[in-house]
Every structure is written in structure tokens, then in C-alpha cells.
Amino acid sequence: MGTIVARKRKDGTTGYTAQIVRKQKGAIVYREAKTFDREQAAKAWLRKRESELDMPGGIQRAEKHDVTLGDAIDRYIAESSKGIGRTKAQVLKAIKEHDIANMKCSTIGSDDIVAFAQGLANDRLPQTVGNYISHLAAVFAIAQPAWRYDLSQSAMKDAHVVLRRLGTTSKSEKRERRPTLPELDLVMQHFVERQARAPSSAPMHRIIAFALYSTRRMDEISRIRWDDLDITHSRVIVRDMKHPGQKVGNDVRVDLPPEALQIILAMPRTKPAIFPYTPDAIGAAFTRAGHTLGIDDLHFHDLRHEGVSRLFEMGWTIPQAASVSGHRSWQSLQRYTHIRESGDKYAGWKWLPIVTSPMEKPT
């Protein structure tokens, strides 16, 4: 016989959790729970679900594919290890700490997703909640067709509509932060001095300059290989370039501005990767430097925005800029068309000769 437990939520409302526990010889062989806003709905679900489990083979059928959402998340992360980004993995692991992760896939409805998102909204911005739901939706999208897990895509779609209309989620705003030349001077000086003290450390001053001139993302920089470099035509293949609809296998050939190619040619050919450093190490070093130097709210990804902005300031057209940035849709570059042509503010940049001088091979 199932039970119903009433619990007060943070917002003052009451949730009714219907729970089914089946035992054999004193040991629990099946457990399932679902929370409702109304006690009557919880009782109705309890009657229906227990009836299904009482049918011959009911528990076996439920156990076969009705895992918890947390189990589905674990499998998604494990089987998407190549294509999943660090942020997405962190968000999905964070979701596992919430009650919804303990629910059976078949019991999760749009109301559960909405309640989960509203709980997140207590201390998170709508853009952040939107990211959580977007990453979770990726699990819902493949669980049924790939693994026959009973996760409802329609429930997720319905929840999306509700959450947008309630204002619980929203799209992330485009960052407009660009580093100033004085800020870059501080950062570059910091890493040039660090390189002199610790020659075996990552040459962050070269990586930063390359990110700016090439407009490449941090993860992409770490994946660029010598074998993918076309020196004659000043191009390189970026493997698994970030794209909303495709990441794994989205290999894009992009043009390298002359400064970016010069930085590459100054790197030692000691490993298959041109910049053989992990994104974690690059990101952590950049973040620490910002804190040490007192530079407020500057992200490594802002270097890409700066690099693309530079191209438009130099008078490049959208197709020309896209050939470097790798944007598949020119519409994504419309945000830069307001930039007035003003020339190259990095012309004669004092750090360019330093980052393009041949780097000694590590001993």
C-alpha cells in the first residue's frame, strides 16, 4: 500500500509526495515516488500506478527501463564524454543534488520540471535557470529513443513554454565586455614575467594574444593540431567547433589573420597539439591573474568578442569576419555591424614582437 506525505515548500505551498515501496522477503525490490500540488491528484496517481505494478510482470517492466533521472543524467554524461562541455557537465551534476534527480523517469511531468526550475529561481537569475533547463532538456531529448528510458519530451516542451511565460527562464544576455589596452598590458606583463620565472609554465601571453587575433575559444585553442595547419593558405581546422545543433564532428576550416599565424609558427613542434595545455589550466591561470591584478569581470571568452570587434573596426565585412570566427550563420555577427570603422588599435602593439619570437623548446 502506498503512502502520501505532505511537505511544506520554501514558497509556503504544500507538496504531496506519493510513494510506493514493494518488498519481497523483507527486502525492498522497487521504490517510486512522485510529488503533486494537490492531495487528490496524488491519490489518483497512487491508485493508477499500483494497479499497473500489480499486473503480471508489472514490477519487472518498471525496473527494466524506469530508472531515476539521476541515472539518466549519469548515462548521458558517460556516453557524451567527447561532446559535452565542462559547463554542461557541471550543471547536470548539480541537478543530481536536487530532489527531481531521485524521481523515476516515468513519473516526471511538466509540473515537476516547472517546480524544479522555480526552486532554482529562488537564488538564481532567469538566464541561469534557463541554462539549467536547457542542459536538462538534452537528456530528455535522447533518453527515450536511445535507451528507452521513459522521459517525456513533451513534458519538457510544455515546461519550457510555462517557464518562459512566467519569466522563470530567459535567454542569456550577450556580454559586451571588452578588455582595454591598459588591462591587456597588465595581463601580458604579468604572464611575461611569470614565464621568465617559470619557463615550463604555459605561455599564457602567447595564448592570450592568439585568442585575440584568431578569435578562437579556449577549448578550441587547446585542440588545434599541427596536422590541421595549412601554412600556405593561412588556415587551420578547428575540430568540434561549438555550435548549438552540433558539436562533435563539427570540424570547421577557418582563416588565420597574419598575426595569429605568426604566433603559431613561434611555438615549438614538440607535441601534436600546437598549444598543448588544458582549458582548465588556461582558464584558471587567466582568472587568477585577473584577481591578482584587480581587473574586474574579465573573462577569457571576452578575448573572442574583442577579436571579432577588431575585425569590424578594421573594416572587414561579415563574410570576411565569419571566415575567421567560424560563425556558420552570418546573422550571429549582426551584433557587430554597429561598430564604426576606426582602424586597427593593435597596430604596433608592443607585445606582438614578443609573442611571435620563437619559443624555446622545454628542456
Three-class DSSP labels, 4-47: EEEEECCCCCEEEEEEEEEEECCEEEEEEEEEECCHHHHHHHHH
Mean pLDDT of the chain: 89
Asked if the 181-355 domain carries CATH number 1.10.443.10, the reply is yes
In this prediction, residue 106 carries a pLDDT of 86
Confidence band, pLDDT 50/70/90 cuts, at residue 331? confident
CA–CA separation, 209 and 218 (whole Å): 12
CA–CA separation, 218 and 341 (whole Å): 27
* Domains 66-173 and 181-355 in one fold: no
Under CATH, which number does the domain 66-173 receive? 1.10.150.130
Helix or strand run (H / E) with residue 288? helix 279-293
In this predicted model, what pLDDT tens digit does every residue of 236-279 receive, in sequence order? 999 888 765 445 557 899 999 999 999 999 999 999 999 999 99
In this predicted model, what pLDDT tens digit does every residue of 11-69 receive, in sequence order? 788 989 889 888 888 888 778 888 888 999 999 989 988 888 888 877 766 665 568 99
In this prediction, residue 170 carries a pLDDT of 86
CA–CA separation, 250 and 241 (whole Å): 5
Neighbouring residues of 246: CB distance < 8 A, sequence distance ≥ 6: none
CA–CA separation, 17 and 15 (whole Å): 6
In this prediction, residue 142 carries a pLDDT of 92
Phi/psi region, residue 57 (left: phi>0; alpha: psi -120 to 50; beta: rest), is left
- Report the pLDDT averaged over residues 307-335: 90
In this predicted model, what pLDDT tens digit does every residue of 131-186 receive, in sequence order? 999 999 999 999 988 888 888 999 999 999 999 999 999 876 677 899 999 999 99
For the chain, domain boundaries: 1-63, 66-173, 181-355
